[in-house]
Structure 1
């Protein structure tokens, strides 16, 4: 699901606080609200210039409340990365499991990537930013995400085309990163065509390569 604040913070009584007080929430609801607020704050101001004070103020909570959920800005950012990748992984898993027709699986995977880039641009930039990949923890989480998805693709591709799992996983990872890169390029270059046109072109490239491996794979 998309990260969205659960409710708007209430205005503080003048002179009683320097932040707007948010209504009480269940622990998990508060955590989601803080993640959503952090996503917006990082997207607007950048990770390095956004402080925990900024996030607490935007969420309408005190810093102690924010620190109850996240011990620091780095941990908050990593939690946001994890949340986003788990959500995207679930959507991609669903797109691959929703059909027994391999052509449809590939089309659905491409559609899911483009959907994510188009409708969750803040989350995409935050997780896949080249600058923040300098954080070893972020690089590790992203690598695990790619490896997990490549393994799922390999479990279908390998048996169908008769190649070892390790080779199928290599091709699966290449396929995923190709689609991801193409989706980002499309989002940044509207002159490249409509989303449907872009997806069709990416599918033709991906499916054409897969078909070469085994012309009988349907």
Structure 2
């Protein structure tokens, strides 16, 4: 007959458990609304024991954000196969999977949450943006981007972030439509930037060489032609 005695966790195992519990709670409610008592109860331990592993809520919050930011940065990594438009569409699907699953946590990560102004939080957000930027360059097979390409990609990443935050407030546009629209935004921004830069125009032609007739960038061209007619 089972005695019901719980297995004792090691220090790092317990820390990871608490981070997971906190991240799950932060994913459903704003971190400001989640108390240490709730985290302790969800983990099945006492409040003082939480403080044994983390000196305060802020340190636990930052650890949860670290895990979330690592996950979010990884959403921009997809196999470098197929067309650029197709890959970006898969990236947006993976990105919005995260946004869908971790709405309040995503908002807290992008806006700073209770750690607003924290150098740790700012560094995490900047790390996600930099990882996304480097992955987009990798998808375009560009190692030394011209200035306008860097500006365009970083502007697009900011657009994706702000669009996701606005979308979370009501989700009034179907998610799949929004994902495709953001890929179209990438193509439109790239085309406008390329019109001012011959080097970027050459890079863009190379990146779009394998775009299929039913790909998102071809769809964008068709929609623009229809709009102008």
Common topology (TM > 0.5): yes
Distance change >3 Å, CA 43–CA 84, structure 1 → 2 = closer
Does residue 177 (structure 1) correspond to residue 158 (structure 2)? The answer is yes
Moved more, 142-151 or 36-45: 36-45
CA RMSD in angstroms comes to 3.1
Q: How far apart are 1:40 and its partner, in Å? A: 4.4
* Residues 43 and 126, structure 1, Cα contact 8 Å, conserved in 2: no
- Map of 1:146 onto structure 2: 129
- Map of 2:88 onto structure 1: 106
- Map of 1:37 onto structure 2: 21
Runs of 4+ in 1 over 6 A off after TM superposition: none
- Map of 1:137 onto structure 2: 120
* Residues 98 and 105, structure 1, Cα contact 8 Å, conserved in 2: yes
Distance 1:48 1:77 in 2: 10
Which structure has more RCO (C-alpha within 8 Å, separation ≥ 6)?
A: 2
Q: How far apart are 1:76 and its partner, in Å? A: 0.6
Distance 1:71 1:167 in 2: 45
Q: How does 1:85-96 map to 2 (within 5 A)?
A: 85-93=69-77, 95=78
* Residues 76 and 94, structure 2, Cα contact 8 Å, conserved in 1: yes
Distance 2:154 2:133 in 1: 5
Q: How far apart are 1:163 and its partner, in Å? A: 4.5
1:144-186 deviation line (CA, Å, top 9, x unaligned): 22123213323554839x842x543332221212122222323
SS where residue 131 of structure 2 aligns?
helix
Does residue 186 (structure 1) correspond to residue 170 (structure 2)? The answer is no
Q: How far apart are 1:50 and its partner, in Å? A: 4.1
TM-score normalized by structure 1? 0.72
Distance change >3 Å, CA 43–CA 155, structure 1 → 2 = closer
Give the gaps of 5 or more residues in structure 2. Answer: 195-200, 209-229
Q: How far apart are 1:73 and its partner, in Å? A: 1.4
1:32-79 deviation line (CA, Å, top 9, x unaligned): 331232234446674445443342233211234323432221111110
Distance 1:154 1:79 in 2: 29
Which structure has the larger Rg?
2
- Map of 2:178 onto structure 1: 198
- Map of 1:116 onto structure 2: 98
TM-score normalized by structure 2? 0.69
SS where residue 104 of structure 1 aligns?
helix
* Residues 30 and 105, structure 2, Cα contact 8 Å, conserved in 1: no
Does residue 209 (structure 1) correspond to residue 192 (structure 2)? The answer is no
* Residues 150 and 176, structure 1, Cα contact 8 Å, conserved in 2: yes
Moved more, 57-66 or 39-48: 39-48
Give the gaps of 5 or more residues in structure 1. Answer: 1-11, 13-20
Distance change >3 Å, CA 152–CA 196, structure 1 → 2 = closer
What is the count of residue pairs matched by the alignment? Answer: 194
* Residues 38 and 55, structure 1, Cα contact 8 Å, conserved in 2: yes
Distance 1:54 1:22 in 2: 20
